[in-house]
Structure 1
Amino acid sequence: YRDYVKKHNLTMHINHKPGDKMMVDWNGTRMYVYDRYTGEAIPAYLFEATLPFSMYSYVQACPSMKINDWVDCHIQAYRYFGGVTRLLIPDNLKVGIIQNKKYEDPILNKSYQEMADYYDTTIIPTRVRKPKDKAAVEGAVGDCTVAIVGKLRNRKFFSFEDLNKAIIKELDNFNNRPFQKKEGSRKSVYLDEELPFMKALPEQPFELSVWKRAKVQLNYHISIEKMNYSVPYEYVGNYVDVKVTKRTVTVYYKMNQICTHDRLYGRINQYSTNESHMPENHQKFQWNKDRFMKWAASIGDNTSILVSKLFDRYKVEEQAYKGCMSLLKLSDKYGKTRLENACQLALDHISQPGYKNIKMILQSNQDLKDKNDNVQSECDMHAFVRGKDYYGGKNNG
């Protein structure tokens, strides 16, 4: 059996291209952060990233191996390297790779895929149970364990921030250490030969997002983490996909973006409502002085003046809402032109006109009577002379 293994379990030297791949994995060795008051030891999981061309490495301690920490470690690794590789080679850990069958394309975690798309890199997971596919990071794990964990094993850390500062200090020493079998160090080879081939970092680092699924309720809102966000009312009853980041909440229906909101924080059960998402009859309940004045202006100058007077009459603007609403809705029944004329008539003859005055003018057609009187007065200014044929005579009998 030993002879068979020697014959068939061969290794192959692979020449890696500069800036082509970044290999990532968790280090099986744990460190600990201690609670300052209770003394409880909190496990710290070590993430490692290695560039196989230069063997330049990055290490970070995390409180968990969940997707949030996994993605954040990649972001910090790209920042440490100062660039992005063409390919990203992870193991088949469930947090990043949902499924990786032999003859099918791998199914990736959506947040992990978004991060890769943002940095313009491509995720190609290793074959299942084939650690040699990422031999560079596997080898770096052992070296880093000796160089970093070994150096820090007798120190106590009370926060992950302090632990990671110490790790970076030892990591810089590790990357600057000269190679034994060739010239230079990991960092010098990286700076001289690999960095020019790395892709540039985006201006802003990737912002981690979490995807959720929600149903649009009858009030055309969805509930995300005990906060409510409006969706166009046409989607009521449908399920939507929601992308949640630290700053925004973006809603998708069948992969099409339909709206976005600033994320709410603080008191639970707050509402973020966009008026354009409401049915027309619901929009009328979302009023303020500016909206009433815009509505009045669309009817005419006299209507605007009268509405402004109504607001001036009250100490609190909400007291004027009912009267303004009733007044302006008269345009639905009598039309904008008649309402504007009625407002002009009221302003000319009444010191403090209101809804009842305008309604009475319109019901009694006083706005039309005033107009007819003007027409009649214009007619009285002219004489109508009948011709001789109108009166008849002896010859027309």
Structure 2
Amino acid sequence: MTKYREIIRLFNLGINQTGIASSCGCARKTVRDVVNRAKACNIIWPLPAETTDADLEKLLFPDKSVPKSDRKFPDYDYIDKEMLRSGVTLKLLWNEYCESCRQNRDIPLMYTQFCHHYQKYSDKKRATMHIPRKPGEQIEVDWAGKPAYIIDTDTGEMIPCHIFVGVLNYSLYAYVEAFLKMDLESWITAHIHMYQYFGGSTTMLIPDNLKTGVDKNDDWYTPKINKTYYEMAEYYDTAVLPARVKSPKDKPGVEGSVNVVTNWITAAIRNEKFFALEELNREIQIQLEKLNHKPFQKKDGSRHSVYLADEKPFLTPLPPAPYELSQWKKATVQFNYHIKC
């Protein structure tokens, strides 16, 4: 406990705050606070002999001396759910909690204790995995590195099919689809199907710096978004924020899910033969449902259960109709005023 009696005694002797802090083994700020509070409470030396440091603490800092049991503890279940909402901070929730305590004539916790107990609650609830993202905030998208294959019925040739992966980075709920080409039409179509599968869009969309989504990347921080991709993002009320070049940590959800998809889906169908893209995608959807419903190894639930309980309510509602792909081209007007489309 702070030596309140000794601080007041030494101050009465004319010792400066640095000397008092050194003698009493405390910070100069503590000395300054005690002296200022003593002046405000009109406490002067000499003090009655029976006055203890505990008695002085009650006089100088009555809020500090209140036992914790007399303070009103907040509902941390409610706080944890509110923290999932965009823009909500612990400072805002603490102010609301203090206002509620004042209305009910309860004594609130100080802000530091409020944060301390919430951190303990969070550590206990999510002891195995800390998720820094908020639900409904981001979708990460990319092409998987390893393709799947279909067989040409005429030549028997193995035709590679490129795997699109989209991930809600809070619940890690995934969408997977195969395409014959990695062109703009396939990229936009994959996004349309992904949004329909998720049942909503998010505030941000994080792709890699691939050519189908980004026209130029001359500026490391402000790449130029493809016009059609930008138009689609505007239609679904989301913002495209490409990851930096060679920065996989900017989209860790999809980077990890690409490996999972490779191991769980493409590896699972490696011995099967498909003769059409539709057949391949039907099997991918079956394996995808298994993946999304597969229980987590180190915590309760699955991608699907976390998606339904915590993420789906925060998704932005979809427009009434899916986005229709448009193509943008530059053409030269001929001498006869005709252009070639």
Shift of 1:174: 0.5
For structure 2, the residue ranges without an aligned partner over 5 or more in a row are 1-128
Report what 1:167 is aligned to.
284
For structure 1, the residue ranges without an aligned partner over 5 or more in a row are 1-11, 225-397
Shift of 1:32: 0.5
Report what 1:54 is aligned to.
171
- Distance in 2 of aligned mates of 1:104 and 1:172: 36
1:37 aligns with 2:154: yes
1:77 aligns with 2:191: no
Equivalences for residues 209-288 of structure 1 within 5 A: 209-217=326-334, 220-224=337-341
Report what 1:202 is aligned to.
319
Report what 1:183 is aligned to.
300
- Distance in 1 of aligned mates of 2:226 and 2:170: 27
- What's the CA shift string for 1:163-187, capped at 9, x where partnerless? 0010001100100011111111101
- What's the CA shift string for 1:77-110, capped at 9, x where partnerless? 1111111011000111122112234565220111
- Distance in 1 of aligned mates of 2:176 and 2:220: 33
SS of match in other structure, 2:145 = strand
Query: Letter of the aligned partner of 1:109 in structure 2?
Result: N
Kindly indicate whether the alpha-carbon contact (under 8 Å) linking 2:212 and 2:226 is maintained by their aligned counterparts in 1. yes
SS of match in other structure, 2:318 = coil
Report what 1:123 is aligned to.
240
- Distance in 2 of aligned mates of 1:101 and 1:218: 35
Kindly indicate whether the alpha-carbon contact (under 8 Å) linking 2:138 and 2:169 is maintained by their aligned counterparts in 1. yes
Query: Letter of the aligned partner of 2:306 in structure 1?
Result: V
Shift of 1:215: 3.6
- Distance in 1 of aligned mates of 2:199 and 2:181: 25
- Distance in 2 of aligned mates of 1:223 and 1:25: 34
Kindly indicate whether the alpha-carbon contact (under 8 Å) linking 2:177 and 2:190 is maintained by their aligned counterparts in 1. yes
- What's the CA shift string for 1:230-280, capped at 9, x where partnerless? xxxxxxxxxxxxxxxxxxxxxxxxxxxxxxxxxxxxxxxxxxxxxxxxxxx
Aligned residues: 213
Query: Letter of the aligned partner of 1:25 in structure 2?
Result: D
Shift of 1:37: 2.1
Report what 1:145 is aligned to.
262
- Distance in 1 of aligned mates of 2:198 and 2:220: 34
Identity %, equivalent residues: 51
Work out which structure has the larger RCO, using CA pairs closer than 8 Å and 6 or more positions apart in sequence: 2
Higher share of residues assigned strand: 1
Report what 1:388 is aligned to.
none
- What's the CA shift string for 1:181-215, capped at 9, x where partnerless? 11111011101110010011111111111111224
Q: Bigger radius of gyration, 1 or 2?
A: 1
- Distance in 2 of aligned mates of 1:73 and 1:169: 17
1:92 aligns with 2:236: no
SS of match in other structure, 1:28 = coil
1:134 aligns with 2:251: yes
TM-score normalised by L of structure 2: 0.60
Shift of 1:24: 0.6
Q: Quickly say closer, same or farther: Cα 1:93–1:54, change in 2 above 3 A.
A: same
SS of match in other structure, 1:38 = coil
SS of match in other structure, 1:211 = coil
Report what 2:145 is aligned to.
28
- Distance in 2 of aligned mates of 1:196 and 1:39: 47
- Distance in 1 of aligned mates of 2:293 and 2:284: 14
- What's the CA shift string for 1:13-63, capped at 9, x where partnerless? 651000000001111111111111211111101110111100000111110
How large is the Cα RMSD of the aligned pairs? 1.7
Query: Letter of the aligned partner of 2:185 in structure 1?
Result: N
Shift of 1:142: 1.1
